[in-house]
Structure 1
Amino acid sequence: MAIVRYTLETVPKPTKKDWDRVKNLKDEDIDYSDIPEITDFSKFRPWEERQMFKPVKVAVTCKLDADIVAWLKQGGKGYQTRMNTILREAMLHSVS
């Protein structure tokens, strides 16, 4: 099988036959075997994908309970990002 390459300018427009094929495709018919499952969201940056502003980071020093830090670190590298995500979720769901 040959590799076919397109650019945005040369990609062909979908035909009615293409859309009908997609419309009739069932989830169980899709082969995901060559696509790894995404389990690490530590590098997930939705603002970059949506060309939004990147939040400004501020260095802070705070004291946390040792068991909380241990729990955050048990996931490995990226514990500060996990802490930021948890705090952001709390902020977004807080009642003002």
Structure 2
Amino acid sequence: MIISTKLTAERLEEIKNHPTSYDENSPKLTKAQIARLRPAHEAYWNVTPVKKTISIKIDADILAALQSGGKGYQTKINSILRKAITTGDY
């Protein structure tokens, strides 16, 4: 059987639905345990992110709420997205 290495929508769904098995050598971690994980060589992970300009559509009420805080709402959006990615809350 040949497995494609392309990440198609079908392949991503297959990966998402693949069962995970846990045992004493690889126990299931809590969100708190995952939050405490750090890279073995953290210096390699302290890289200044490259900013990219994109165009996205955001619900008007969400954008208004973020803009109501004044200048820096785009930085706030970035912080919210970064937190969601790093904690897995998306």
Q: TM-score, normalised by structure 2?
A: 0.46
Q: TM-score, normalised by structure 1?
A: 0.44
Q: Which has the larger radius of gyration?
A: 1
